[in-house]
Chains A and B, each alone.
Chain A
């Protein structure tokens, strides 16, 4: 019996480095969708070790929990379980990449209408928004680092859009740079 070989969505496509920005794979071991049942949020919070409010990322036992919708979170890390919530494994439903570098914000500003200023998207803040034409999740994980999530089937479009924006940002830097 042949083995089923697992293949990451970004297989052979990443990393990409253009100018001061690197786009790399950031797929966690597991992605678990959790939606606490009505009036069960505190029980779920206890079980998981936390639950994020709107726009928040919180550390939980299994990893990091991102707010992704009303009463919904995604836990990125180890598989998570909880009796008082709807729990769905979405490990393979999302592609997670990281955009890292001094101009990462400028790259994103070409694709998302989201307010990316520190005052609106601080470190450890997350937002559901658009990236090009795709619905996406954007999480700021460092001063110059963002984790981006789109549906797995759109991985190639995600990389195409980001690459184009990275090229433009780098070309602009050369334009205003020396000479």
Chain B
């Protein structure tokens, strides 16, 4: 019911939206809940387990009942709190967890079964037979229970994430938060003021309080304007601080554009706020009283009732009863009457309470029953001298306040019980640098909150090294808080605690009887507090009921805790921007465009994209292209982009000694202009990486790493330089991206180069494993004579700006000679034919000995991994060591991952003799080939083994061979 005047709504701006398809009109400034209440729609949802009809009980983010789906299709947001969602023209709102309709829900039959569905019901009932759980019980239970459904469509990933930094973060913008922000801002601190609400003010927007000669709302508006005008203050509205993390880092969810029609603006922004100091001014949440049938639509918190009344000019009913255990009940009755709403009754549990209002007043009374189905129709009270039925269409319940201390629990702080306010308050120093104040600390009067906010800000300023300036705070009400004592009403019937998970006081008593006496056990057993509202309304009350049931005091029974996030955070906000291209950086070589122009399929190698093969007209499978490219290299010349290999420039007087330490071999003896293959071990003796290193000058080396290990090798080298040998004068930098580098391989590689280079390449000038400076079209290039194909090979390196041009030139020249470009499929075949290893072989568990490179481990100097590689277990000949494998039938491919067995043995894991790491079809040798590791491998040449791949159902015989299947003496690459 809309009140004729007042409220923070704009009656000039009607807003039209739909609820379950039916048009509803509200005003700008309304939430879905306030607009529906204004239209006398109280039924907004169904409960999780019993499908009971429910309406809103709060006016904020702690709402357990009024969860709705907002929007449609992929943009739909299930489980949105109707109490927070602002309305806009065209908004569609749909109720949840009901079928076929909200008013008639077939699953409400669960409610009739509720005597059988008590706490622990599922555990007790569906234990047996065990196999039925997954197939039968769970699907049925899941269908019956639940909240909103996901759209099933991919998330459009329209949200964003951001970072912000400040001296002081003030969380909450009620009287305490505003006083704190003002104090800090006036002293010159960099302040972020975050409020969950659409505007600063907190409870001042909901109450009829005065501050000095202004209304609370006027003062809040004036303070907000003053703060907004200051350059050192950032006011973040619609921003809920959701979590506290180490070193002053806070997570916060900003609802950027959820209050307007979806458009270009991101719906949400997930902030990482970094603050040197913070102030918790999150206020308090009003708690319920557990009385029989306290869940009917129309029963809501008294604080929410005042919010709807004073802020939205809405009354939940025409005849509203008020029930409470403290003075807030009286304040509520006063506000209702002032708004012209009939106060059906004021029921106060305190026998000594008095009231001078013009309404029926019942001190020392309790609500023991309520009536109505889809909305409240009346209630029964027990008062001194008997019971009484009262007709009312709404009931406001004032159960006292729980400080909103949730964030103080995020780093393991445990709230402490404060007897004089009968509430938990934050434990001292729960979060380093975070100072709670105001109602969040148990100070409930307006004057107290203002003063507390100032005090907290002064403490924070002190820690920041700022001097506070005096600020004026207005006079405000300073009524002492009347501590509420009543948690529950003792009377027959179900009294609901956790509205979202349908947990009643009976369930808690049952848990206690069945010896789940610890709070944590009770919570798991009953599921109390484990729904999306994390028990904001019910935790403390449930604890009090458990204390009562077990005959202990509340502090004896335990405490409550809360985990991040304070409110649910959509996964689409946490992962914003990380779908598709945002998932990881894409690294492209300079030949990328030319490769894709030739329809080369790209394959990811780390972050890089490399061409698999270059299909030509008429080729139908990748194998056809790959085989052609291999033959091209073996018989003529091929060109391949190898820019992705890591390149590290190493210089300094200590460079030679440094390399001798990080490589198993000796590089101090390498001659200038020459290249050596290097093997790098981890300190535990296993192979880390391999590659070639060229000596470019007396103190200047260029190391290459594998594509995958470029980053880790760089970090390793820096570790050795900075951590182990800071005495060595050596400087390292990555030049991977500076150079575009192309392999030119094949019998005609030299011819190709000589058609391009200004200098003539001869074998005397450029012998195998040497490097040379040359020129192409006036551009200096580096030429390295190395081979990963087994053919005469060169790698030509040019500054990346020339990469695209040089690639086109090389491919054109290669094609004119009868060769062309080759991709990494062919590159892989070429190296398997030659028995060259990659990270398929040096996979982290193999040693130099295992890969047959024990001779490369210098005996005359120390190197990383030397001591550990000599450990007895790592040098036994029975270890699985590198071998070549050839199937008896050339058509059979021994797939990597398959296992090797001695002939005649059962192919079981225990009998495995080794495994396959790499395999290919060799067009050169016209057979499949593989590399693998075999126990005592090199001593078993010629033996026939059984290859079995249980996963892909392969089982055939292979013969053990030398890893080098082609050109064993290496004559082709040496030239």
Contact = CB atoms under 8 A, between A and B. Distances in A.
Consider the complex of A and B and state whether they touch directly, i.e. have CB atoms less than 8 Å apart. Answer: yes
Interface of A: 1-9, 33, 35, 37-38, 70-72, 85-94, 109-110, 112-117, 119-120, 132-134, 151-157, 160-161, 164-165, 167-168, 170-172, 174-175
B737 interface: yes
Contacts of A35: 651, 731, 733
B731 A134 contact: no
B649 A152 contact: no
A9 B809 contact: no
A169 to B, nearest CB: 9
Contact of A91 (B738, B776, B798, B803): B738
Interface in B236-259: 256-257
B582 A110 contact: no
16 contacts: A2-B809, A4-B779, A7-B802, A86-B652, A91-B799, A92-B737, A110-B160, A110-B161, A110-B162, A132-B577, A154-B586, A160-B581, A165-B160, A171-B264, A175-B260, A175-B265
Given A2-B809, A33-B733, A86-B731, A92 B164 contact: no
A171 B799 contact: no
B729 interface: yes
Contact of A156 (B586, B737, B803, B806): B586
Contacts of A168: 160, 265-266
Interface in B580-600: 581-582, 584-590
Contacts of A72: 731, 733
B327 interface: no
Contacts of B257: 171-172, 175
Given A35-B733, A153-B737, A156-B586, A171 B651 contact: no
Nearest to A173: B265
B733 A92 contact: no
A93 B958 CA distance: 47
B274 interface: yes
B384 to A, nearest CB: 57
B840 interface: no
B805 A4 contact: yes
A90 B738 contact: yes
Contact of B256 (A2, A6, A164, A172): A172
A139 B852 CA distance: 49
A4 B585 contact: no
A23 B193 CA distance: 31
B736 interface: yes
A167 B264 contact: yes
Q: Which of A92, A112, A167, A174 has the most CB of B within 10 A?
A: A92
A171 B733 CA distance: 40
Contact of B806 (A1, A4, A37, A88): A4
Interface residues of B, number: 57
Contacts of B588: 153, 155-156
B800 A88 contact: no
Contact of B733 (A90, A114, A133): A90
Contacts of B587: 151, 153-154, 157
Contact of B805 (A7, A87, A93): A7
Contacts of B756: 1
A4 B758 CA distance: 13
A88 B697 CA distance: 13
A91 to B, nearest CB: 7
Given A35-B733, A156-B586, A93 B800 contact: yes
A113 B651 contact: no
B608 A153 contact: yes
B164 A109 contact: yes
B645 to A, nearest CB: 12
A155 B607 CA distance: 13
Nearest to B644: A153
B737 A151 contact: yes
Contacts of A134: 585
A77 to B, nearest CB: 17
Contacts of A112: 163
B190 interface: yes
A88 B651 contact: yes
B684 to A, nearest CB: 27
Contacts of B731: 35, 37, 71-72, 85-86
A7 B162 CA distance: 34
A88 B649 contact: yes
Interface string B794-823: 000011111111100100000000000000
Contact of A120 (B165, B589, B722, B800): B165
A90 to B, nearest CB: 5
A170 B804 CA distance: 35
A40 B260 CA distance: 61
B737 A2 contact: no
Contacts of B809: 2, 4
Interface in B707-741: 722, 729, 731, 733-739
B265 to A, nearest CB: 4
A116 B190 CA distance: 13
Nearest to A118: B190
B653 interface: yes
Contact of A86 (B651, B777, B779): B651
A112 B802 CA distance: 31
Contacts of A167: 264
B256 A175 contact: yes
Given A4-B776, A4-B802, A171 B729 contact: no
A116 B263 CA distance: 29
Nearest to B259: A175
B733 A88 contact: yes
Nearest to A164: B577
A9 B756 CA distance: 24
Q: Which 7 A-B pairs rank lowest in CB-CB distance, beginning with the nearest?
A: A93-B738, A86-B731, A86-B651, A153-B587, A92-B800, A35-B731, A171-B264
A37 B190 CA distance: 41
Nearest to B740: A92
A5 B779 CA distance: 10
Nearest to B161: A110
B217 interface: no
A152 B800 contact: yes
B312 to A, nearest CB: 23
Nearest to B266: A168
Given A110-B161, A167-B264, A152 B804 contact: no
Contact of A4 (B608, B652, B736, B798): B798
B272 interface: yes
Contacts of B734: 93
A117 B584 contact: no
A163 to B, nearest CB: 10
B765 to A, nearest CB: 20
A112 B260 CA distance: 28
A76 B263 CA distance: 41
Nearest to B272: A113
Contact of B584 (A5, A94, A133, A164): A133
Contacts of B163: 109-110, 112-114
Contacts of A110: 160-163, 577
Contacts of B161: 110
Contacts of B722: 70
B658 to A, nearest CB: 12
Contacts of A70: 722
A117 B190 contact: yes
A43 B607 CA distance: 40
Contacts of A33: 733
Nearest to A114: B163
Contacts of A37: 652-653, 729, 731
Q: Which of A110, A115, A165, A167 has the most CB of B within 10 A?
A: A110
Contact of A7 (B582, B585, B652, B804): B804
Contacts of B260: 175
A116 B264 contact: no
Nearest to B166: A117
B266 A171 contact: yes
Interface in B87-113: none
Nearest to A115: B165
Nearest to B265: A171
